[in-house]
Amino acid sequence: MNRLDRLRGTGPGKRHNARTVAALTGNPGCSRRAVLDAAGVDKVRLAEHIGFPGSFGQSRFALARGNAFEAMLKADDCALLRSTLGAYVGGYEDLGADEDGTLSARHARTRALLLDASEGLVDHPLLTLEVAGQTVFLEPDLIAYQTGAQLQVVEIKSFAIIDGQADGTAVSAAAVQAAVYVLALRQLLGDDRVSHEVVLVCPENFSLQPVAVVLDVRKQLSTLRRQLSRLASVSALVESLPEALSFDLAQPPAAVVAALSAVDARYAPECLSSCELSVYCRHEAAGSTSALGRPVRDALGGVATIDEALALASGAASPTPDQAEAAALLRAAQRLRDEAVAVAPRPRGEAL
């Protein structure tokens, strides 16, 4: 049993998918997440075991809406999708039709088909990506292989684009997920065969009428590459952990919590939408300046807790040399606040 298996303990290793690979970019500086993911720990079960379950993932309503939208686009050999994509129309191959095929067989057929690409759409393709020494199978919504020399990923999402605008968080999550597929395709076929532009297909306005927009995912690709290489090199971090450390869920919850606290976390509010352990980590970080978000943590380097920040701002505490810059900022902010309070209009009868 290797060190990562021992860290995970008796439970089966959790496999990644495109959503979990995409989530790796959410908090690249967190050692706790890097170790848990590299060891394949099931973070949903771990969070439940220690009493901090999260409501992670899509709601049932969102899942049903997404499935209905995708089924509508793909009906009749993707007739509606092809008319939406316009310039990307062509032939259609459904690799999911052969249900007897193993994952490896479907991946081999995907590879053969894409190497021989001409115009058209490939449905239910199967790609692979190496994540922390583990081969992950990925199933993109579709790959358009099309005019010109490059392949293009098509990502179907059920959030609406209203008057040309969509929820920024949802779009950036879709862009990262599509970037995972682009990376897997590039590893399979070479960088110059796969476009860094992906096509996002969403419902338009308040109907289910689809609309296609193009996203450039170069930034997401470089972040993903960096994060995946960090995961691959997580072995040094793992070696530095105590030999007996284990996240085995057969242990009592208190022992698992003690194991978690042996690995540094870097909680930020963004964790709530990207990591299954966020409810626990938020609880653990309560009262710390980092719980207020990365901009606050970066501005208040050296000031670990909110109580300390308030004491420095009011002058009740003297800063250490490495807190001097943050303390000056805090005192200036306190002065501005005091001035604003002094000139603010007050309800009649209220004393200053």
Output helix, strand, coil percentages for the chain, rounded to the nearest 5.
Answer: 50, 15, 35
CA distances from 147 to 78, 117, 151, 319, 331 (A): 18, 10, 9, 63, 61
DSSP for 192-231? GGB-SEEEEEEEBTTSS-EEEEEEE-HHHHHHHHHHHHHH
Per CB under 6 A, 281 contacts ligand SF4:
yes
| Nearest distance, CB of residue 132 and ligand SF4, angstroms | 15
| Nearest distance, CB of residue 294 and ligand SF4, angstroms | 11
Q: Residues 6 or more apart from 296 whose CB is under 8 A from it?
A: 289, 290
| Nearest distance, CB of residue 306 and ligand SF4, angstroms | 18
Per CB under 6 A, 157 contacts ligand SF4:
no
Residue whose CB is less far from ligand SF4, 16 or 32: 32
| Nearest distance, CB of residue 220 and ligand SF4, angstroms | 18
3-state secondary structure of 179: helix
Per CB under 6 A, 289 contacts ligand SF4:
no
Residue whose CB is less far from ligand SF4, 212 or 275: 275
| Nearest distance, CB of residue 26 and ligand SF4, angstroms | 6
Residue 205 C-beta-side C-alpha neighbours within 13 Å: 3
Task: Kindly state the number of chain residues that form the binding site for ligand SF4, as judged by CB under 6 A.
Answer: 12
Cα separation, 267 vs 166, in Å, equals 27
Interface pattern 8-27 for ligand SF4 (x via CB under 6 A): -------------------x
**Dihedral in degrees, nearest 10, Cα atoms 140, 77, 62, 28:** 10
Residue whose CB is less far from ligand SF4, 122 or 263: 263
Per CB under 6 A, 33 contacts ligand SF4:
yes
| Nearest distance, CB of residue 123 and ligand SF4, angstroms | 34
Choosing from 8, 32, 82, 157, the residue that interacts with ligand SF4 (CB under 6 A) is: 32
Residue whose CB is less far from ligand SF4, 93 or 270: 270
Residue whose CB is less far from ligand SF4, 31 or 134: 31
CA distances from 319 to 205, 289, 316, 323 (A): 53, 16, 10, 5
| Nearest distance, CB of residue 27 and ligand SF4, angstroms | 4
Cα separation, 218 vs 236, in Å, equals 29
Residue whose CB is less far from ligand SF4, 33 or 74: 33
| Nearest distance, CB of residue 190 and ligand SF4, angstroms | 33
| Nearest distance, CB of residue 343 and ligand SF4, angstroms | 40
Residue in 249, 291, 241 with CA at minimum distance from that of residue 266: 291
Q: Which one-letter amino acid corresponds to residue 280?
A: Y
Per CB under 6 A, 39 contacts ligand SF4:
no
Interface pattern 238-277 for ligand SF4 (x via CB under 6 A): ---------------------------xxx---x---x-x
Residue whose CB is less far from ligand SF4, 152 or 227: 227
Cα separation, 205 vs 183, in Å, equals 31
Residue whose CB is less far from ligand SF4, 202 or 268: 268
Residue whose CB is less far from ligand SF4, 23 or 78: 23
Residue 77 C-beta-side C-alpha neighbours within 13 Å: 7
DSSP for 23-80? HGGG-TT-HHHHHHHHTT--HHHHHHHTT-----S--HHHHHHHHHHHHHHHHHHHHH
Residues that bind ligand SF4 (CB under 6 A): 27, 30, 32-33, 265-267, 271, 275, 277-278, 281
